[in-house]
C-alpha cells in the first residue's frame, strides 16, 4: 500500500522546507522526500545567507519581499533565533557603466515598490568603512534587505512545519514518478511509494533529473561558485556589499559581515564553471583575497576559516521556473533558483501553497506567468 | 616578575636551558620579561599567566590547550593582531593583550599589490618532519628523489623533541637507548647531508585541493606545491574526554604538557593529575617529576595500565598513586583547574556513586590515546592524488615504529617514481610490526643467583620490543634467547669471558631496569650499581639514599659508595651502594622524599555531566548535543547546522571524535552516523597571505 498525501515535495532544501511549512500550515497533508540524511544538506548549507528584494525581475522582487517579511518577523512570531540582520544591500559603482546600469534598474525596482536609492560616494564610505575610495562613484542602497543564517533559518522553518504536521523522509531517493492519464499518480522511491494530488519538484541542483521522470526537459544547468567564511571580528559593516566589477578570473563579488562578525564571501567565476563538482579548488582563496582586500584593504588581516563550493542551478535567463505544467496535472516546478533559492524560498513557499489550494491572486498569476516553463527565456535578469 | 623568579625549569636531570636573550614585552599593559624567540604562550606561563583571554560567547576562561598550533584557544592580540600564542615567537617590545570580545580589525588601509601565487613542482612533498617524515625523506633522498619536507614548527623532529627519555626498540635500526631529543638531532644532521631534500620550517600545510595542488604557508609566503607524490606524516592529535570543567585552563593533553615542560622548559604546573595509564600518560608523569612537578595521581579505566611495566614501575617507585578502574568525572575551578574529582567505574565503565574522591591539583593531563591526523590523506585520496601516509597519520604506534613506517613509505614512493627497483626489505615490514607490539603479560623471572664476580640483573619482566642491553655489551654476554627483540634478556654466566663491570647495559636501558652486582670485594655485601635520572643535583659519594625494589618497597637508606657517569649516557647517573646480599638482587632504584602531602578535599557538589563542553570553539555542551541526538539526528552535519558544533576555528579537530562517542553512548552505531564533511582550511589563515605579495613585507 502506498502512503497518501495531498502534496509530495521532492527535496528538503531552501525551497522544499518553506513550501512544506506553508502548505502544512494551510492544512495540507505534506510529505518531503530527501535523498540526503537531513534537511539543507544540498545547496542550502552552501548559501551565504543574503536575502534581498533587489532584483530586476518583478516576480523575483515580489517573492523576495515576501521572504524578507517572513524571515524578518520569524523570531517575533515563533521565537527561533535565525540571526536575521536587516543591514541592507549596497551595490557599489566604480565606473559610469555600472552607475548607469544601477540607475536604470532603479526605475523597475521603484515601480515594484522597493525601498532602494542611489546614494553618493560619502554614504557608501559611511556604510562600508575602509572601502577603497579611489574611483568610487556611489552606489545603490536598499536598507530593507538583510541576511540570516541559512542553517538556522531552514532548521527553524522545518521545526515549525513539523508542528503543523509536515512529514520528512530522509535518505530516500525518488526513483520514478508514475503518471496516469496525464496526471501525476505516484512517487516511487528506493524505499516506498507515495500517492499525492501534487508533486513539487524542489530538487535544486538535481531538479533536471526529477523533471526527466515525467518527461520534461528542464533548462537547468548547474554551475559552481566557491565561498568562504572568516573568523569573527568586531562588526563594522552592516550591508551586504556587491561589487560588479570584473576581476582576474572573477565576475561579481559579494560579501557581508554576519551578526556574529564573520565575513562570508562569494564570487562568480569568469568564465563560469559548469557542472556539479563541489570539491574545493586552489583558485578561490587568491581570487577572493584580491577581491576583498582590493575593495577593503584592512581585511588583509582577516583570517579565513573555511571554504566550500556550491552549485547554482542556472536557467537561461537567470530567473527560476515555477508553476504547473500544462501536460502533467499535479506536477509543479519550483526549480532553477540560479543560486537564490535561499532568498526566494520563504516567499515561494507561500505562493506554492496558494497554487496548490487554487487560491492564487492576480499578482500571483502574473508571477506564475513570468516564471512559467513556457516563457521566453530570452530576457536576462540583470543582477543575477 | 624578574626573569630569575619565573616559572622556568632551570635544573633538570636531563635537559639544559639554552642561553637566550631576555626581552621586554607587555601583557595587558603589565611589563614582563621573556626569552627572545620562545613561543608567547610559554613566555606567559613562565610569568605565571595561565589565562590568556575569555571566550567572547560565554566569557569562559581560555588558556593553552593543544600547544601545537591546531586549535585557537590560546589566541592573544599581538600588536593589535589576533594570533595563536603557541605559534608566535616572542620579540622585544611586543604589546600582547588578552581577548574577551571579538577584536576589531586593525584600521590598516594601506593597499596591497597582488601577485600570482607560485606553483612549485617536486617529486615528493612530505608533510610533517617528525620521526616518520624524516626517515621517509632520508630514504627518498638516498634513492635520488627530489623532496620537499615541510613542518609547521620552527625545528625538525616533530614529537621527538618532547621525548627526553631513551627509546625502546632495537639499537641497530631505531636508535634504542637514545633519547628522542637526541634522535631528532641525529636525523637532522643526516638530512643536512642531502641536497635533494629541501626543508621548509614554519610552513604549515593549509589544504589539499581538488586540482591536486597543496597549499602551504612557507613562512610568510603562500605557495602551491604540485607534487608527483604526496606523503602525509602529520602525526597524531590527542583524544579528549567529556566531563564538566573539561575546558578549564589547566586541562590539556600530555603532549601539550611535554611541549611546555620538555621543549620550552617552563614549569607549567605545581601539581598534576594524569588521566590514562598508557605509555604517554606514564611517561608524562615521569617527565613531570623530572621537572620538579608533583604527580598527585594517575587514573586508568582498565584493571591494568596499558603502558610498559618498566615505565609504570618508575612512577610507582616514586610513590605516585595509580588508580586502576577509575576515571575522571570533573575538574573544578573558577578560572583555572583547582581540583579534580575521580571515581571508580564498573564493568561498563560507568562511575560508581559514592566512590568519588577530589584532589587539589592545578593541572589535569588527558592521556587516553591518540587519533591520526589524516585529513590531508583523506582529501588527497578523494581527489585521486598519489598519496601515502606514514607514522601516526597511518596508524598510532610508538615513534620507533613510525621511523620504519616512514622508511617503508619512502621506499614505496621511490618505487612508484621509478627511482628504485628494489622492494621494501621484508625485515623493515617485520620490524615495523614488532615495534608496534603491545606489551606482553608480566612474568615472574628467577634472578640468577651467582654470588661471585660481576653480573647484571634484569628487572625486565614483560615482553616489549627492546634490545639495547644486548647490543652494548662489549663481551657479548647479554642475549635474548627467544622471541627476537620482544624476548627477555639474559646474562650468559657460563662463558669463558667474564663481565668487566663496564655498566653500559645499566646506562643504556630505557626502562632503567638493569642493575650491576659486584661481589668481588664482599660477597655478603655486594656493590650494586643503580641507574637514576631523577636527581637534579649530581649524587655525591657519601649521600644517603632510600633504595627501593621494583614495587617501590623500601629497602633501607644506604650510603653512596661511588657515582659514575658514562660519556655516552651523560644524563644517567650510575650510583653504587653496598647492600646486604639478600636485598641486592631486588634493589632497582632510589626514591626521592615526597615534597608534598596528598591533599584530598571535600567533594564538590552538583557534578552535571551534561555541562561538559564538546565543541570548545563554539562552546557547545554535551547536553545540547545529546538532546539533538535524542531527537533522532544521526548526521553530524545536521548537528552542526543546528548547534554550530564543529564550526569554530579549529575545524572540528577535537569535537568530531567526542561526537562519535556521544552517538555511541546514545546507542547509535558507527554505521548509522554520517560524519562531518571536511572542508579547508586546516588552520585559519590571514587573507594577506593569499595576495602573493608577502615576500617584500619584512
Domain residue ranges of chain B, discontinuous segments joined by + = 1-112, 119-236+372-435, 454-591, 609-672
CB contact under 8 A, B224 and A234: no
For domain B609-672, give the CATH number: 1.10.10.1100
B227 burial via Cβ count (<10 Å: 0-12, 13-18, 19+): buried
CA–CA separation, B5 and B22 (whole Å): 13
Give chain A positions within 8 Å (CB) of B640. Answer: 151
CB contact under 8 A, A289 and B104: no
Q: What is the mean pLDDT of residues A278-307?
A: 97
Q: What is the dihedral sign for C-alpha B396, B402, B407, B408?
A: negative
Say how far residue B410 (Cα) sits from the centre of its chain.
Answer: 24
CA–CA separation, B6 and A232 (whole Å): 34
CATH 3.30.9.10 domain range(s) in chain A: 86-144+221-314
Q: pLDDT at position A327, please?
A: 85
Q: pLDDT at position B596, please?
A: 59
Domain B119-236+372-435, architecture per CATH: 3-Layer(bba) Sandwich (3.50)
Give chain A positions within 8 Å (CB) of B693. Answer: none
User: Nearest-CA neighbor of B404 among B379, B437, B439, B373?
Assistant: B437
How big is the CA angle at B104 (ends B102 and B107), to the nearest 5 degrees? 165
Give chain B positions within 8 Å (CB) of A41. Answer: 635, 637-638, 641
**Is residue B171 scored above 90 in pLDDT?**
no
Say how far residue B359 (Cα) sits from the centre of its chain.
Answer: 25
* 3-state secondary structure (DSSP) of residue B86: coil
- Distance of CA B234 to CAs B158, B209, B377, B392, B554, Å? 9, 17, 9, 7, 44
- Distance of CA A125 to CAs A128, A237, A255, A266, Å? 5, 10, 16, 21
Q: pLDDT at position B696, please?
A: 45
CB contact under 8 A, B681 and A305: yes
B667: phi then psi, degrees, rounded to nearest 5: 80, 20
From A57's Cα to the closest Cα of chain B, the distance in A is: 32
CA–CA separation, B561 and B417 (whole Å): 61
Give chain A positions within 8 Å (CB) of B649. Answer: 231, 305
CA–CA separation, A133 and A85 (whole Å): 26
On whether the CB atoms of residues B498 and B475 are closer than 8 A, the answer is yes
CATH class (in words) of the domain with range B1-112: alpha beta
* 3-state secondary structure (DSSP) of residue A290: helix
CB contact under 8 A, A37 and B635: yes
Q: What is the dihedral sign for C-alpha A57, A61, A67, A72?
A: positive
Chain A contacts in chain B segment 192-231 (CB below 8 A): 207, 209-211, 213, 215, 222, 224
A227: phi then psi, degrees, rounded to nearest 5: -135, 165
Which among B102, B641, B649 has the least Cβ separation from residue A151? B641
On whether the CB atoms of residues A335 and A201 are closer than 8 A, the answer is yes
On whether the CB atoms of residues A334 and A200 are closer than 8 A, the answer is yes
- Distance of CA B606 to CAs B282, B337, B339, B343, B378, Å? 30, 17, 14, 14, 42
CA–CA separation, B468 and A305 (whole Å): 47
Fold designation for A86-144+221-314: D-Amino Acid Oxidase; Chain A, domain 2 (3.30.9)
Share of chain B above pLDDT 90, in %: 87
CA–CA separation, B263 and B162 (whole Å): 6
Which among A45, A281, A305 has the least Cβ separation from residue B211? A281
CB contact under 8 A, B110 and A297: yes
How big is the CA angle at B432 (ends B430 and B433), to the nearest 5 degrees? 65
**Is residue B68 scored above 60 in pLDDT?**
yes
Give chain B positions within 8 Å (CB) of A233. Answer: 102-105
B692 Cβ under 8 Å from any chain A Cβ: yes
CATH 3.50.50.60 domain range(s) in chain A: 3-66+150-219+317-370
B204 burial via Cβ count (<10 Å: 0-12, 13-18, 19+): buried
C-alpha cell at B480: 635474548
β-bridge partners, A266? A227, A254
C-alpha cell at B272: 598534576
Q: pLDDT at position B594, please?
A: 67
Return the number of CB contacts < 8 Å for A and B: 150
On whether the CB atoms of residues A156 and A116 are closer than 8 A, the answer is no
On whether the CB atoms of residues A54 and A140 are closer than 8 A, the answer is yes
Quick one: pLDDT band at residue B698, thresholds 50, 70, 90? Answer: very low
Q: Find the Cα–Cα–Cα–Cα dihedral B449, B452, B457, B461, rounded to 10°.
A: -10
Quick one: pLDDT band at residue B44, thresholds 50, 70, 90? Answer: very high
Query: Which helix (H) or strand (E) segment is B312 a member of?
Result: helix B309-317
Quick one: pLDDT band at residue B484, thresholds 50, 70, 90? Answer: confident
Q: pLDDT at position B468, please?
A: 93
Q: pLDDT at position B451, please?
A: 82
Interface test with B, best of A125, A135, A282, A307 (most B CBs within 10 A): A282
**Is residue A235 scored above 50 in pLDDT?**
yes
Domains B1-112 and B609-672 share a fold: no
From B372's Cα to the closest Cα of chain A, the distance in A is: 21
**Is residue B111 scored above 80 in pLDDT?**
yes
Q: What is the pLDDT of residues A26-43, one digit of tens each?
A: 999 999 999 999 999 999
* 3-state secondary structure (DSSP) of residue A2: coil
β-bridge partners, A118? A140
CB atoms within 10 A of CB B437: 15
Query: Which helix (H) or strand (E) segment is A18 a member of?
Result: helix A16-25
Q: pLDDT at position B157, please?
A: 98
CA–CA separation, B392 and B401 (whole Å): 9
User: Nearest-CA neighbor of B468 among B558, B382, B568?
Assistant: B568
Give chain A positions within 8 Å (CB) of B209. Answer: 279-282
* 3-state secondary structure (DSSP) of residue B149: strand
CB contact under 8 A, A286 and B210: no
**Is residue B56 scored above 70 in pLDDT?**
yes
Q: pLDDT at position B162, please?
A: 96
Strand B363-366 to strand B251-253: parallel, antiparallel, or no bridges (unpaired)? parallel
Share of chain A above pLDDT 90, in %: 96
Strand A303-314 to strand B685-686: parallel, antiparallel, or no bridges (unpaired)? antiparallel
B101 Cβ under 8 Å from any chain A Cβ: yes
Give chain B positions within 8 Å (CB) of A282. Answer: 117, 207, 209, 211, 213, 215, 224
Q: What is the mean pLDDT of residues B235-252?
A: 97
CB contact under 8 A, A304 and B686: yes
Q: What is the pLDDT of residues B455-472, one digit of tens each?
A: 999 999 999 999 999 999
Q: What is the mean pLDDT of residues B376-404?
A: 96
Share of chain A above pLDDT 70, in %: 99
**Is residue B616 scored above 80 in pLDDT?**
yes
Q: What is the mean pLDDT of residues B167-171?
A: 86
Share of chain B above pLDDT 70, in %: 98
Quick one: pLDDT band at residue B601, thresholds 50, 70, 90? Answer: confident
Chain A contacts in chain B segment 630-659 (CB below 8 A): 633-635, 637-638, 640-642, 649, 651
For domain A3-66+150-219+317-370, give the CATH number: 3.50.50.60
Q: What is the mean pLDDT of residues A292-299?
A: 98
**Is residue A345 scored above 60 in pLDDT?**
yes
How big is the CA angle at B51 (ends B49 and B53), to the nearest 5 degrees? 125
By C-alpha distance, the chain B residue nearest A303 is B686
Q: Find the Cα–Cα–Cα–Cα dihedral B188, B194, B197, B198, rounded to 10°.
A: 80
From A37's Cα to the closest Cα of chain B, the distance in A is: 6
User: Nearest-CA neighbor of A166 among A323, A348, A22, A41?
Assistant: A22
CA–CA separation, A344 and A315 (whole Å): 15
* 3-state secondary structure (DSSP) of residue B695: helix
Q: What is the mean pLDDT of residues A224-252?
A: 97
Q: Does residue A83 have a cis bond before it (omega within 30 degrees)?
A: no
β-bridge partners, B563? B575
Q: What is the pLDDT of residues B406-417, one digit of tens each?
A: 999 999 999 999
Quick one: pLDDT band at residue A1, thresholds 50, 70, 90? Answer: low
Q: What is the mean pLDDT of residues B489-509?
A: 91
Give chain B positions within 8 Å (CB) of A236. Answer: 104-105
By C-alpha distance, the chain B residue nearest A231 is B649
CA–CA separation, A242 and A247 (whole Å): 13
Give chain A positions within 8 Å (CB) of B117. Answer: 282, 286
Mean pLDDT of chain A, nearest integer? 96
On whether the CB atoms of residues B106 and A301 are closer than 8 A, the answer is yes
CA–CA separation, B273 and A381 (whole Å): 65
By C-alpha distance, the chain B residue nearest A265 is B687
Q: pLDDT at position B697, please?
A: 42
Return the minimum-mean-pLDDT range out of A166-180, B238-252, B450-464: B450-464
**Is residue B448 scored above 50 in pLDDT?**
yes
CA–CA separation, A225 and A290 (whole Å): 16
β-bridge partners, A167? A31
CA–CA separation, A214 and B320 (whole Å): 74
Cell 496558494 locates to: A354
Amino acid at each position: 500500500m502506498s502512503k497518501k498525501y495531498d502534496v509530495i515535495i521532492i527535496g528538503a532544501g531552501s525551497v522544499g522546507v518553506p513550501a512544506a511549512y506553508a502548505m502544512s500550515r494551510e492544512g495540507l497533508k505534506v510529505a518531503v522526500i530527501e535523498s540526503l540524511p537531513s534537511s539543507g544538506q544540498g545547496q542550502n548549507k552552501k548559501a551565504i545567507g543574503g536575502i534581498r528584494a533587489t532584483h530586476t525581475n518583478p516576480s523575483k522582487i515580489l517573492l523576495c519581499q515576501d521572504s524578507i517579511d517572513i524571515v524578518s518577523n520569524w523570531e517575533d512570531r515563533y521565537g527561533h533565533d535565525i540571526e536575521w540582520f536587516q543591514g541592507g544591500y549596497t551595490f557599489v559603482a566604480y565606473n559610469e557603466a555600472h552607475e548607469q546600469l544601477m540607475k536604470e534598474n532603479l526605475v523597475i525596482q521603484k515601480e515594484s515598490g522597493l525601498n532602494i536609492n542611489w546614494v553618493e560616494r560619502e554614504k557608501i564610505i559611511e556604510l562600508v568603512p575602509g572601502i577603497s575610495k579611489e574611483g568610487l562613484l556611489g552606489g545603490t542602497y536598499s536598507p530593507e534587505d538583510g541576511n540570516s543564517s541559512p542553517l538556522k533559518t531552514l532548521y527553524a522553518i522545518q521545526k515549525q512545519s513539523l508542528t503543523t504536521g509536515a512529514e520528512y523522509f530522509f535518505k530516500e531517493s525518488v526513483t520514478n514518478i508514475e503518471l496516469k492519464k496525464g496526471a501525476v499518480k505516484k512517487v516511487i522511491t528506493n524505499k516506498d511509494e507515495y500517492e499525492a494530488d501534487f508533486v513539487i519538484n524542489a530538487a535544486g541542483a538535481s531538479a533536471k533529473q526529477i523533471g526527466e521522470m515525467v518527461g520534461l526537459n528542464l533548462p537547468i544547468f548547474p554551475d559552481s561558485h566557491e565561498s568562504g567564511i572568516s573568523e569573527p571580528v568586531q562588526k563594522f559593516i552592516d550591508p551586504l556589499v556587491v561589487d560588479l566589477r570584473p576581476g582576474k578570473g572573477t565576475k561579481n563579488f559579494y560579501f557581508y559581515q554576519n551578526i556574529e562578525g564573520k565575513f562570508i564571501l562569494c564570487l562568480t567565476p569568469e568564465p563560469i564553471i559548469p557542472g556539479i563538482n563541489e570539491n574545493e579548488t586552489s583558485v578561490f582563496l587568491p581570487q577572493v583575497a584580491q577581491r576583498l582586500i582590493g575593495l577593503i584593504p584592512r581585511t588583509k588581516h582577516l583570517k579565513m576559516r573555511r571554504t566550500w563550493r556550491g552549485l547554482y542551478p542556472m536557467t537561461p535567463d537567470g530567473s527560476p521556473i515555477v508553476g504547473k505544467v500544462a501536460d502533467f496535472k499535479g506536477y509543479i516546478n519550483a526549480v532553477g533558483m540560479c543560486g537564490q533559492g535561499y532568498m526566494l524560498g520563504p516567499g515561494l513557499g507561500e505562493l506554492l501553497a496558494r497554487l496548490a489550494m487554487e487560491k492564487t491572486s492576480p499578482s500571483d498569476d502574473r508571477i506564475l506567468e513570468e516564471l512559467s516553463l513556457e516563457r521566453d527565456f530570452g530576457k536576462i535578469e540583470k543582477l543575477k | 616578575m624578574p626573569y630569575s623568579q619565573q616559572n622556568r625549569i632551570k635544573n633538570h636531570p636531563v635537559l639544559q636551558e639554552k642561553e637566550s636573550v631576555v626581552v621586554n614585552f607587555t601583557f595587558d599593559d603589565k611589563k614582563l620579561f621573556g626569552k627572545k624567540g620562545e613561543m608567547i604562550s610559554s613566555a606567559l606561563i613562565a610569568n605565571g599567566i595561565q589565562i590568556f583571554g575569555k571566550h567572547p560567547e560565554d566569557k569562559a576562561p581560555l588558556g593553552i590547550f593543544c600547544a601545537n598550533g591546531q586549535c585557537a584557544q590560546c589566541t592573544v592580540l599581538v600588536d593589535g593582531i589576533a594570533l595563536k600564542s603557541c605559534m608566535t615567537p616572542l620579540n622585544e617590545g611586543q604589546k600582547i593583550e588578552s581577548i574577551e570580545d571579538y577584536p576589531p580589525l586593525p584600521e590598516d588601509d594601506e593597499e596591497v599589490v597582488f601577485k600570482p601565487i607560485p606553483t612549485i613542482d617536486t617529486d615528493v612533498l612530505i608533510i610533517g618532519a617528525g620521526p616518520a617524515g624524516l626517515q621517509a625523506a632520508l630514504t627518498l633522498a638516498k634513492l635520488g628523489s627530489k623532496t620537499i619536507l615541510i613542518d609547521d614548527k620552527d625545528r625538525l623532529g616533530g614529537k621527538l623533541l618532547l621525548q627526553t627519555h631513551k627509546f625502546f626498540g632495537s639499537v641497530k635500526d631505531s636508535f634504542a637507548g637514545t633519547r628522542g631529543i637526541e634522535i631528532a638531532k641525529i636525523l637532522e644532521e643526516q638530512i643536512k647531508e642531502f641536497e635533494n631534500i629541501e626543508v621548509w620550517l614554519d610552513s604549515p600545510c593549509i589544504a589539499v585541493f581538488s586540482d591536486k595542488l597543496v597549499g602551504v604557508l612557507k613562512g610568510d609566503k603562500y605557495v602551491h606545491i604540485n607534487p608527483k607524490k604526496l606523503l602525509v606524516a602529520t602525526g597524531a592529535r590527542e583524544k579528549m574526554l567529556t566531563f564538566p570543567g573539561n575546558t578549564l585552563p589547566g586541562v590539556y593533553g600530555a603532549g601539550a604538557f611535554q611541549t611546555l615542560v620538555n621543549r620550552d622548559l617552563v614549569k607549567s604546573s605545581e601539581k598534576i593529575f594524569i588521566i590514562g595509564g598508557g605509555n604517554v600518560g606514564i611517561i608524562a608523569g615521569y617527565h613531570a617529576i623530572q621537572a620538579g612537578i608533583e604527580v598527585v595521581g594517575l587514573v586508568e579505566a582498565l584493571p591494568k595500565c596499558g603502558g610498559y611495566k618498566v615505565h609504570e614501575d618508575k612512577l610507582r617507585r616514586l610513590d605516585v598513586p595509580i588508580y586502576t578502574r577509575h576515571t575522571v568525572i570533573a575538574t573544578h575551578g573558577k578560572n583555572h583547574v583547582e581540583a579534580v574529582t575521580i571515581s571508580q567505574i564498573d564493568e561498563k565503565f560507568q562511575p560508581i556513586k559514592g566512590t568519588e574522591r577530589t584532589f587539589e591539583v592545578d593541572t589535569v593531563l588527558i592521556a587516553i590515546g591518540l587519533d591520526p591526523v589524516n585529513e590531508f590523506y583523506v582529501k588527497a585520496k578523494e581527489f585521486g592524488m598519489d598519496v601515502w601516509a606514514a607514522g601516526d597519520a597511518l596508524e598510532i604506534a610508538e615513534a620507533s615504529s613510525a621511523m620504519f613506517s616512514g622508511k617503508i613509505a619512502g621506499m614505496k614512493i621511490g618505487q612508484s617514481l621509478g627511482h628504485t627497483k628494489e622492494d621494501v626489505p621484508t625485515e623493515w615490514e617485520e620490524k615495523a610490526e614488532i615495534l608496534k607490539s603491545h606489551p606482553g603479560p608480566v612474568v615472574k623471572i628467577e634472578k640468577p643467583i651467582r654470588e661471585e664476580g660481576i653480573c647484571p640483573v634484569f628487572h625486565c619482566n614483560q615482553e616489549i620490543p627492546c634490545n639495547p642491553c644486548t647490543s652494548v655489551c662489549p663481551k657479548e654476554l647479554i642475549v635474548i634467547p627467544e622471541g627476537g627483540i620482544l624476548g627477555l634478556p639474559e646474562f650468559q654466566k657460563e662463558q669463558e669471558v667474564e663481565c668487566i663491570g663496564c655498566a653500559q647495559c645499566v646506562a643504556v636501558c630505557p626502562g632503567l631496569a638493569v642493575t650491576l652486582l659486584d661481589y668481588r670485594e664482599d660477597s655478603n655485601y655486594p656493590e650494586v650499581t643503580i641507574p637514576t635520572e631523577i636527581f637534579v643535583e649530581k649524587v655525591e659519594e657519601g649521600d644517603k639514599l632510600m633504595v627501593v625494589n621494583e614495587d617501590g618497597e623500601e629497602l633501607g637508606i644506604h650510603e653512596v659508595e661511588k657515582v659514575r657517569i658514562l660519556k655516552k649516557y651523560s644524563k644517567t647517573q650510575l650510583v653504587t651502594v653496598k647492600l646486604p646480599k639478600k636485598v641486592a638482587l631486588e634493589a632497582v632504584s632510589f626514591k626521592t622524599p615526597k615534597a608534598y602531602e596528598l591533599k584530598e578535599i571535600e567533594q564538590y557538589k552538583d557534578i552535571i555531566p551534561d555541562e561538559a563542553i564538546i565543541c570548545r570553539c563554539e562552546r557547545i555542551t554535551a547536553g545540547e548535543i545529546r538532546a539533538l541526538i535524542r531527537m533522532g539526528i544521526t548526521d553530524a552535519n545536521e548537528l552542526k547546522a543546528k548547534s554550530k558544533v564543529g564550526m569554530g576555528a579549529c575545524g572540528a579537530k577535537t569535537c568530531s571524535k567526542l561526537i562519535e562517542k556521544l552517538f555511541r553512548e546514545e546507542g547509535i552505531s558507527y554505521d548509522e552516523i554520517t560524519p562531518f564533511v571536511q572542508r579547508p582550511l586546516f588552520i585559519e589563515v590571514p587573507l594577506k597571505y593569499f595576495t602573493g605579495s608577502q615576500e617584500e613585507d619584512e
